[in-house]
Amino acid sequence: MLVVIKKDYEEVSREAARIVAGAVRSNSQIVLGLATGSTPLGLYKELIALHRAGDLDFSQATSFNLDEYLGLPAFHPQSFHFFMKQNFFSHVNFPSGNVHIPDGTISRNYDEYCAQYEQSIKAHGGIDLQILGIGRNGHVGFNEPTSSLASRTRLKALSRETVEDNRHSFSNDSEVPKCAITMGIGTILDSRRVLLLASGRSKAAAVAKAIEGIIDEDAAYSLTQRDYYRHVLEMTQIFTPERLS
């Protein structure tokens, strides 16, 4: 595991984009695991810019998103379907048939639906590169604290903290989703590579506990081993630079 500490959000986003773009260029049929939230927005902007400059082609890529709120249709402005369309898919040449995001409108047979999502990831050969943000309470996707390391895609009740964090985005309390469909920690860990991004002081506690990834100085604030991580990064640049490409 490599910890990359960058000066600020812009640098985190640029470095993440460099890694994702490199992965897409070296495997045009890449299967990407994608995340929502404010953290990967800068990464998506950078990828869009590279695509517009003619430097990045997604025409053969496939994606699986981490999660979706239960009860929100794709056109709902707070849904992750909407987010992904607005902030990424409508700006690049990702074939819509290759995009997979859990369906927030299902209302029964949840386990069966989630098993199919898992099956679909497997059928595509698994996730090559998974992008992750991290919630204030350390959740990834919607795997709230206490989620099992072996967990798979499933319906998950959101923690009070997460529901609180989301409240401001909805016009009334009854609309705020209480559950989500999320890939599990086990699903995420099956990915060949994981890129966890964090930025800002509000993430420092979660990062210190969950650690590692590409983070900015603020999110790295509570790490006790910062000098060692820098040293590891320098050695990696010298001896195994391919791990950073």
Nearest CA to 32 among 82, 98, 93, 91? 98
144 is catalytic: yes
Contact flag: residue 184 with ligand GLP (CB under 6 A):
no
Contact flag: residue 213 with ligand GLP (CB under 6 A):
no
**Active-site residue (options: 46, 65, 139, 190):** 139
Residues 20, 18: Cα–Cα separation, whole Å? 6
Residue 147 has, within 13 A of its CA and on its CB side, a CA count of 28
Sequence-distant (≥ 6) Cβ neighbours of residue 186 within 8 angstroms? 148, 149, 150, 151, 152
Query: What is the closest distance, in whole angstroms, from the C-beta atom of residue 181 to ligand GLP in the complex?
Result: 11
User: Taking CB under 6 A as the rule, which mask of x and - marks residues 84-123 in contact with ligand GLP?
Assistant: ----------------------------------------
Tokens of 174: 């009854």
Contact flag: residue 36 with ligand GLP (CB under 6 A):
yes
For residues 14, 17, 22 and 27, what is the CA-based torsion angle, rounded to 10 degrees?
A: 180
Contact flag: residue 24 with ligand GLP (CB under 6 A):
no
Nearer to ligand GLP, 62 or 79 (CB): 79
**Active-site residue (options: 137, 165, 175, 212):** 137
Measured from the Cβ of residue 161, the count of other Cβ atoms closer than 10 Å reads 15
Sequence-distant (≥ 6) Cβ neighbours of residue 227 within 8 angstroms? none
For residues 178, 180, 185 and 190, what is the CA-based torsion angle, rounded to 10 degrees?
A: 180
Q: Of the candidates 38, 148, 225, 237, which one interacts with ligand GLP according to CB under 6 A? A: 38
Residue 92 has, within 13 A of its CA and on its CB side, a CA count of 29
Contact flag: residue 16 with ligand GLP (CB under 6 A):
no
Query: What is the closest distance, in whole angstroms, from the C-beta atom of residue 168 to ligand GLP in the complex?
Result: 12
Tell me the helices (H) and strands (E) count for the chain, helix number first: 8, 10
Q: Of the candidates 133, 177, 184, 213, which one interacts with ligand GLP according to CB under 6 A? A: 133
67 is catalytic: yes
137 is catalytic: yes
190 is catalytic: no
Binding to ligand GLP in span 58-77, by CB under 6 A: 66-67
Q: Total number of residues binding ligand GLP (CB under 6 A)? A: 13
- Catalytic residue ranges: 67, 137, 139, 144
Contact footprint for ligand GLP (CB under 6 A): 35-39, 66-67, 133-135, 141-142, 162
